[in-house]
Each structure stands twice: as structure tokens, then as C-alpha cells.
Amino acid sequence: MTTAVSSPYVQRTPRASFGYLICLPLLLSLFSPVAGSAYVQEVTGDTPDDIWSSDYVTYEFPWAVDEATNFKQYHTYDSMKTRMMRLAEDNPGIASFHEGLNGGTNTRGQETTEDTYKGWYYGHASPWMKITLGVEDGEYNEFNGDAGNYADRQDVLVVGNHHAREWMSYEVPMFMIETLIWSYDEIGYDNDGDGLVDEDPWGDADGDGILDDDGDCLRLDPAYQDSDGDGVACGPGDLGVDEDFSEQKLHDLINNREIYIVPMLNVDGNRYDREEFCGPTAWENCATSGWRKNLRDNTLTGITPLPDLDEQVDEGCDGVDLNRNYQFEWGAPLGATGPLIPGACYAGQNNDVYNGPVDTVDQDNDGRLNEDGVDGKDDDGDGLVDEDWLGGNSEPETKFIQDLTEMNDDNGNGGSDFPVTLTWHSFSELILYPWGHCQNCDNPDQDQLKYHGDVMATMSNYENMQSSDLYPTSGDFCDWHYGLFNSYCYTMEIGNAFHERPENIDDILLRNVGMGMYMIEIADNPKERADLAIANISQQNYLKQPNKVDIPPEGDIPVDICVSSLFPYSVDNSHIKWRQVKPSRMQSDYGPREWSYTDWESAKVMLIEGGCPLAAGNGTLLRAMLPISETATGELHYKAMVSTLGGADFYQYPSDGSYYTLDISYRAAFGSLFGALFMFSVVATFVWGGLAVALRIMLKGDGEKVFEAELQAEGA
């Protein structure tokens, strides 16, 4: 043992730096980020902040990167196009970006090039997006330049901004693009941050006549119930109304539809409206005015039409109303201005509904000009239909829609593949369905078109009416699509101004986006869907609720769907979708229980004899056997996807886009006696046997050493 003397000269302070530095990392523990966590809070309050996340309350959209993508200010043509390209680049599996068409020989035998579709004045082709799963892996359409074509997917065409000054009409389709693409990988996202998922989809999902399905808007203090200030409490566009839709449903739609979205058809006109005619803050000076048409040069000075960047636009005369320029029943000057004689235009005569020049080509080379206009009839009795038209589709923008539609024929039936088409306009808060060109004339699908319009009217609180009941229009988008291709087509007149104030953009979008998604959903068979709904047949079907499901002691779990005997179900194409929620095997030691979700899988249904009870009598029983392991614990989520013989595949039960939840407990035997005995003996041999051997060696050795030590001690 050493002795040392305490000395007054001993320095008692070791270098401080070391001691303190080593403590530095300790401080880290205090700076764990103070971030929000996703736990469920009991909702008691009655202000929006009590119920929802602040992002939702202020409409901060989860995909937003700037003011425009957050829909707090308008996109310009450039920022819109850049954003579309960005989305396509970031989501190459589901979205592709296009401008105009490649061209080639179209269905009318005309040769076109990509220049055919570029605006007269600024020279842009209309940008558009194609959204579908495997957008680069389908059949390639060389004319359209689109590789996302699938014969078994229905196509939907959504077009905005026929009319340049109707700015909201391109913001809504942009919002649809953002919502669709973002939702694809965000299944189960809690859009409003209230801890519930998909609890309030668009419209009145539970059929109780109240739009606010989860009742959270209605729970607010009345002072907050009309957040969009339209005078309707808890109406569409208000906080808490239709705010938490099913991302799964949009995901499924992207997998099963080809969605074409053309947010800004009339780029020429829109740029002119923003850059020259009204200016970038058009809502100040042009709320209900502005530039409407495209920029065709109608004046004598130009050789019409001519791309003439040098030449000023003659505002009193130039331009064609694109939504009067479609060929169907073109030229009947109902709500349109007949063709001008070139040169007869004079300043001050503004033809806002000018429908374009008269055709000068004898398309069928029979020596007669324009003897059989486009109306689906053989006007001249020569056995050919619509073969020599009067005019229409003379503009780059309408030619683009015409060729995009007519050249998009995945299934080779010679017609358009768009069972559903939709065009956004403003303003007046109306939903318009064909016809437009004639008054007091029912269309052949009057009841069905009116039905879907009524459904959408409940979503938006808009008025649903036949287009010509508002005012007659000839040569519009919807008459052409419906008249020639029987496409269920709607014109949405949204909002209350051509140039809405920027602070109203998000409210108006939220009020309208559900209608766009509805159109995509019904595209599989809009007529059959309307028929079944009108007869109240699809609403009778039901999926067995969790508390009625009998879990057998062993084997697969049967889940039943009961369908009306009038419902044209298809056994082959109907199925139950299901997934499991399992407790994670590697739980956190101290946190709440963690779950893992399996992917959704499909189980085929089969017809079971004996039927099932329906409110309106006896129904047909369809059953799927879900292969849930007997050792599984946790939850089973399931929903029914019922298809019809007519091809409608999206009758989903429960009908609000959600699913039922069934608790699953362990059903297998806990073990076998002999197996357990064997395993026990193996483990016991290894662990306890091994331990015994080790201790024996150790104690033996230790004993000897202790003995030696004692000997030494004695010797000493």
C-alpha cells in the first residue's frame, strides 16, 4: 500500500474541458424534437381547432409546395404546366404528362401534325395528364402519344377552361390531379386530423339526408358552421363537410380507370386574359367580365387563320367560342353567332359566342358542299351519315378534343372510349346535362342523366338542369360527346364569378372536387348504375356486419353479401376485399401497441342456396371464404365489391367507401403434449444441462484453486 502526503501544491481541478465536453451529448436528450404525435384526443370543444388539425382548418394541403399548389393563388399557364410535369416525373407509375397530340392520320382521313393542335397566337398545345396504373406499360397510341391504354379500363375525360376567363375551371381539374395522385400512396390518411379515417366521404354517403356524415361540422358552434360564407350552414365547401374521403377508393379508381384531365384547353385565351385583357389580378377589375374565346384572327389584315405574334389581337372581332365550335348540330345559331364573312368584322362588334368559320371543303367529293352536317343522321339520304359537314371543330383546341376522343379507341369498336365526360365552366352554380341545341327536347337517357346530375347536386348544393333549359347552345362539348358517342356528359357552371377572389379558391374546389371523382367512379356503366339506383335496387344489397359473422372454430371465415334478386350480379367479377391488421411482432417496449397492415386481397364469391333476408323480400346469398389463419390475432377488415353482368364493378358495401372491422382471436390449439415434452427436454438439456456442466467445471476449478490458496497461506 502506498502512502502519499496531501500537499498544498496539489492542483485539485482537472482539466475542465474534458469533463464538460463528455457531458455535451447528455444534453442531446433534452432536445428531442417536440413534434406532434398521432394519438387520439377526446373531442369536446366546439371550435374548429378543437376538432381538427390546424392544417385542415386552414386548408393547408398535404401536397402543397407553394401558394399555387396550396390553392391559395391561381396557377398561371406556366406554373400549371410545370407542376403537371413535376407530378408526372415524380409519379411515373400512375401519371404521364402530354401536350396536344402527335398527330398522324385521324379517323376522318385528315393528316395532322403536332402543330395542328397549337394555339393560333401563342402557339401552345393544351397540356393534359393521363392518370392510370401502369401509365407507361399499356398499349401505345401513337397518334395521341399515350402508352397507358387498357381495353378493360373505362376512360374518363375531364376538360377545363374552354373559356379563357373562367379561371376556377382549370383550378378544379388541377385539384383533381393533385388529390388523385397524392391519395394513391396515402391510403388511410386522416385528412382532417381528427384521429378518424375516411369517416366523411363526398356526398351523403350514409343516405340520411345529411351531407356531414360524421356530424363534426354540426357539432361546431353555429358561428363556425358556414366557413365558406355562402349562407348555408354545414353545406358543401364548409369545414368538416365531406372532408375525409377514402384514399383507397381513389387508389382503386386509378387502378381501374383511364383518367384524362385537360385542365386548360384554351391556353391562348387564358394567357391573353391574364397578360393583356384583365391582368393578373383580374378579380379586381374583371370579376364578371374578361376574355372568353380563343385567339383566332378574324380580321381582314391577316390571312385567316394565321399565327401572327406580331399582329395585335383585335379585341372587338377576333376569337372563336370553343364551346360553340363542336360539330354536332353546328351552325344552328341557337345561342351562337353565325359565321362571319371574313373581312366583315369591324371594331366594337364583339362576337363572344362566335362559333367559327363555315367549312369550305367538299369532304365526300360529291360536288355538293356541306350537304350532311354532323347530327348523327343521314340528312341527304345517300346512305352515309354526317359525311360533309357545315363547319365546326375548326380550331386547334377543339380539333385536339375531337382527335383525342376519336383516336382513343382501345377496344377497337370504332367509337370513343369515354363513357363519361365532364367539362368545368363558371359561373352560376349549375349542373347541366344534354341537350343544349334544342329546347323542350328530352335526350334518350333523360332519366339517367338527370339521376346522376341530382346525385352531384346533393354533393355541391348546385342546381341540376338540362342545358337548354338555362339557354340554348349549339356546338357545345357535351352535345358533341353525348350526341355522337352516347357519353354521359356534364357541364359544371361553378362559383359566382369568372374571376373569383383568390381566398375563395380552396372553398370552391372542395365544394366541387367530389363531383369529378363521382364521374370517374360511375364511368364503368353510368346507365346501369342510374337504372339500378333509380329502381332502388343497388341500395338494398348489403354486406354482413361484423357482429353477424360467425367465426368457425377452424378453417376459413365466411363473409356473406345479400343482393336483391333484381340485381344483375356477376359471380365471376364480384369479390370480398380483405386485409388483416396484426399486432406487430416487434412491439415497442414502452409505447402503445403497434399494428401492421397486410395488403388488401380479394376473395371470390360463390352462390349459396337458400337466399337471405332483404327488406323487399328474399335476396340472393353470395359468400366468400376468407383464408384467415387459425393462429391469427388482431383485426380483419373487409368490404364487398359487387360487379354486375352489365359491367359496373364498383358497387362497394359498406357504401361509404370504408370497410367493416371484425376482431379475430387465436383459434388454433395451443400445442401438443408430446411435441412440447420433446421440445422442453431439448431446451432443458441445452440450457440447464449446459449451465450445470459449466458450473461444475467452475466450482471444481475454483475448489482446487481455493485449496491451493489455503496451502500457500499455511505455507506462509
Partner 1 sequence: MAESDQFNGRLGLIFASIGAAIGTGNIWRFPRMVGANGGGTFLIPWLFFLFVWSIPLVIAEYAMGKRSRTGTVGTFRIFAGKRFAWMGLWTAWISTAIGFYYAVVSGWTLKYFQLGISGALTGDEVDTTEVWNAFLQSPGQVIFFQFVVILLVLGAIWKGAKAIEKVNFYLMISLFALLFLTLFLSLWMDFSDGTLDGALFMFTVDFDMLFEPEVWINGLSQSAWSCSAGMGMCMTYAVYMRKDEDTVLNAFTMGLANNSISIIAGLAVLSAIFAVNPDPLATVTGGSSAITFLALPEVFAQAPGGSIGPLFMMAGFFLALSFAALTSMISTVELCVRNFVDHGYDRERSVLITGIALFLFGLPSAMLWIKLDSSGVAFPEFLEVQDHIWGYGLMFSGLFIAFSIWKYGYVKWRKEVDAGTAPAGFSGYLGFGVSAFRDDFINTGDNDLEVGRWWDVLIYIAFPILFIVLMGSYFLDMIANTDDVWNPSNPKGLSIILLFWGVVAITFMLLNKYLIARPLYRNIPEGADVDISALPGGDDDMVVELGEVVPGFEHLTQETAIEAELVG
Q: Which of residues 649-668 bind partner 1 (CB under 8 A)?
A: 665-666
Residues 614-633 contacting partner 1, CB under 8 A? 631, 633
Residues 191-210 contacting partner 1, CB under 8 A? 195
Task: Give residue 479's Cα distance to chain centre.
Answer: 26
- Residue 660, all three cell numbers: 367493416
The one among 22, 309, 341, 716 contacting partner 1 by CB under 8 A: 22
Size of the site for partner 1 (CB under 8 A): 71
Mapped onto helix, strand or coil, the DSSP state of residue 632 is coil
**DSSP H helical ranges for 381-466:** 396-406, 446-460
Minimum distance of partner 1 from residue 667's CB (angstroms): 10
Give the residue with the Cβ less far from partner 1, 535 or 677: 677
Residues 59-98 contacting partner 1, CB under 8 A? none
Cell 365489391, residue located: 641
Do the Cβ atoms of 466 and 433 come closer than 8 Å?
yes
For residue 517, give every residue at least 6 positions away whose Cβ sits within 8 Å of its Cβ, in sequence order, or none: 176, 179, 180, 202, 245, 250, 253
Which residue pairs, CB below 8 angstroms and at least 24 apart, start in 136-141? 136/92, 136/93, 136/96, 139/410, 141/407, 141/408, 141/410
* Amino acid occupying residue 37: S
Give the residue with the Cβ less far from partner 1, 111 or 589: 589
Give the residue with the Cβ less far from partner 1, 4 or 341: 4
Is there binding between residue 44 and partner 1 (CB under 8 A)? no
Choices 135-143, 376-384, 475-483, 678-686; region in contact with partner 1 by CB under 8 A: 678-686
Give the residue with the Cβ less far from partner 1, 146 or 216: 216
The one among 2, 360, 440, 547 contacting partner 1 by CB under 8 A: 2
Residues 405-444 contacting partner 1, CB under 8 A? none
The one among 16, 32, 209, 310 contacting partner 1 by CB under 8 A: 32
User: What string of DSSP letters covers 694-707?
Assistant: HHHHHHHHHHHHHH
The one among 17, 360, 440, 712 contacting partner 1 by CB under 8 A: 17
Minimum distance of partner 1 from residue 39's CB (angstroms): 5
Q: Is 37 exposed, middle or buried (0-12, 13-18, 19+ CB in 10 A)?
A: exposed
Residues 156-185 contacting partner 1, CB under 8 A? none
d(CA 387, CA 399): 17
Give the residue with the Cβ less far from partner 1, 193 or 319: 193
Cell 363473409, residue located: 559
d(CA 683, CA 688): 8
Give the residue with the Cβ less far from partner 1, 360 or 665: 665
The one among 369, 441, 676, 711 contacting partner 1 by CB under 8 A: 676
Choices 161-169, 325-333, 437-445, 680-688; region in contact with partner 1 by CB under 8 A: 680-688
Mapped onto helix, strand or coil, the DSSP state of residue 565 is coil
Give the residue with the Cβ less far from partner 1, 306 or 683: 683
Minimum distance of partner 1 from residue 247's CB (angstroms): 13
Give the residue with the Cβ less far from partner 1, 17 or 365: 17
Choices 25-33, 175-183, 268-276, 404-412; region in contact with partner 1 by CB under 8 A: 25-33
Is there binding between residue 711 and partner 1 (CB under 8 A)? no
- Residue 14, all three cell numbers: 482537472
d(CA 283, CA 279): 9
Minimum distance of partner 1 from residue 557's CB (angstroms): 16
Closest CA to 151 of 409, 486, 415: 409
When computed from its CA atoms, the radius of gyration of the chain, rounded to whole angstroms, is 34
The one among 25, 209, 231, 412 contacting partner 1 by CB under 8 A: 25
Give the residue with the Cβ less far from partner 1, 140 or 680: 680
Mapped onto helix, strand or coil, the DSSP state of residue 260 is strand
Beta-bridge partner residues of 612: 619
The one among 687, 707, 710, 711 contacting partner 1 by CB under 8 A: 687
Do the Cβ atoms of 306 and 374 come closer than 8 Å?
no
d(CA 278, CA 601): 54
Give the residue with the Cβ less far from partner 1, 209 or 590: 590
- Let me know how long the chain is: 716
Closest CA to 472 of 429, 446, 437: 437
Minimum distance of partner 1 from residue 593's CB (angstroms): 5
d(CA 203, CA 205): 6
Cβ atoms within 10 Å of 71's Cβ, excluding its own: 23
Is there binding between residue 715 and partner 1 (CB under 8 A)? no
For 25-102, strand residue ranges (E) read 95-99
Is there binding between residue 39 and partner 1 (CB under 8 A)? yes
Give the residue with the Cβ less far from partner 1, 3 or 365: 3
Q: For strand 617-626 and strand 601-614, is the pairing parallel, antiparallel, or unpaired?
A: antiparallel
Cell 465536453, residue located: 21
Is there binding between residue 15 and partner 1 (CB under 8 A)? yes
Cell 359525311, residue located: 387
The one among 115, 686, 710, 711 contacting partner 1 by CB under 8 A: 686
Minimum distance of partner 1 from residue 91's CB (angstroms): 17
Minimum distance of partner 1 from residue 543's CB (angstroms): 25
Q: Which helix (H) or strand (E) holds 257?
A: strand 257-262
Minimum distance of partner 1 from residue 239's CB (angstroms): 23
The one among 695, 707, 710, 711 contacting partner 1 by CB under 8 A: 695
Choices 66-74, 263-271, 612-620, 686-694; region in contact with partner 1 by CB under 8 A: 686-694
For residue 157, give every residue at least 6 positions away whose Cβ sits within 8 Å of its Cβ, in sequence order, or none: 260, 262, 404, 405, 418, 420, 421, 422, 481, 487
Print the binding letters for residues 568-607 with partner 1: x by CB under 8 A, - otherwise: ---------------xxxxxxxxxxxx-x-----------
Give the residue with the Cβ less far from partner 1, 4 or 303: 4
The one among 4, 16, 309, 341 contacting partner 1 by CB under 8 A: 4
